[in-house]
Amino acid sequence: MTSSDTPGGPGDPRGRWTDLERPPLKAAALSRALVRPGGLWTELEVVEATGSTNTDLVARAGAGAPEGVVLVAEEQNAGRGRLDRTWTAPARSGLFFSILLRPGAAGVPTSRWGWLPLLAGLASAGALSRAAGVDTALKWPNDLLVTVGGEERKFGGILAERADDAVVIGIGLNVSLRAGELPVPTAGSLALANAISTDRDPLLRAVLRSIEQWYGEWRRFEGDPAACGLQEAYAAGCATLGRRVRAELPGGGATVGEAVAIDGDGRLVLASDTGVQEPVSAGDIVHLRPASPEEQ
């Protein structure tokens, strides 16, 4: 490939790589750093664009792809979030990737697989706090938050899908999005949270290494969230706990109460004004009041 053939070079009529603040990921270097004998990650592929990395990887899982495949897209044009919501962002402005896991092969019962999106959220938040130098928090069940202008903003989300005996987890993270590029005013990005780095290569390496570490511990304890420390760590980083929230439930209806715990099944436990505790397994959570300094 000559310089004129290189994306962004003089011969590139598309001009897709001309934003010098958003260089393409270095796929070969990422593979060298992450794919190793005995490690979780078995293959890492970066594609220029796709509809949805989750859709693509679910299909590959059904065709027998091994555990540890990572599929990254520089741009998604049909990215999906929870509840069939769309996820769009400018090319190379974030990290949009999916991972393929087969926890059953390690003896983890399917009753504990619901912890995987929470595990991915915890691992991602911790890795980005360290690598990007920003305070991150978790909003149950699978949103990642940063503070922008004194307000909590969502900058990442996670979607887990079953594919027979596999689980595909999609992760979308806004890295360099500018204010004018935000899909909604309540969104955020690492750049808007004054991150010390928005270099996506080390950020992706940090996230994947953190997921590998947490997944290894979780798998070693056969998915027991208490024994491996996942339940306690998630609760410690969850901004939802200690707050009055409204849980908008699938199929309609809502429950209001104080979020008091994450139970052993990964459900959010709400305490009503009468003191009755009710676990919520799925739904949209609206934070009705911020946590006080004593509650943080």
Average pLDDT over residues 227-232: 98
Please give the pLDDT value at position 84: 55
Alpha carbons 275 and 268: distance in angstroms, whole number? 15
Give pLDDT tens digits for 40-56. Answer: 999 999 999 999 999 99
- Say which CATH architecture domain 27-236 belongs to: 2-Layer Sandwich (3.30)
Please give the pLDDT value at position 80: 53
- Say which CATH architecture domain 241-287 belongs to: Roll (2.30)
**Quick one: pLDDT band at residue 6, thresholds 50, 70, 90?**
very low
With a cut of 60, say whether residue 89 has pLDDT above it: yes
CA 267 to chain CA centroid, nearest Å: 18
Amino acid at 206: A
With a cut of 60, say whether residue 11 has pLDDT above it: no
Domain ranges of the chain: 27-236, 241-287
Of how many residues is the chain composed? 296
Contact (CB, 8 A) for 184 and 81: no
Q: What is the mean pLDDT of the chain?
A: 90
Handedness of CA 62, 68, 69, 72 (dihedral sign): positive
**Quick one: pLDDT band at residue 251, thresholds 50, 70, 90?**
confident
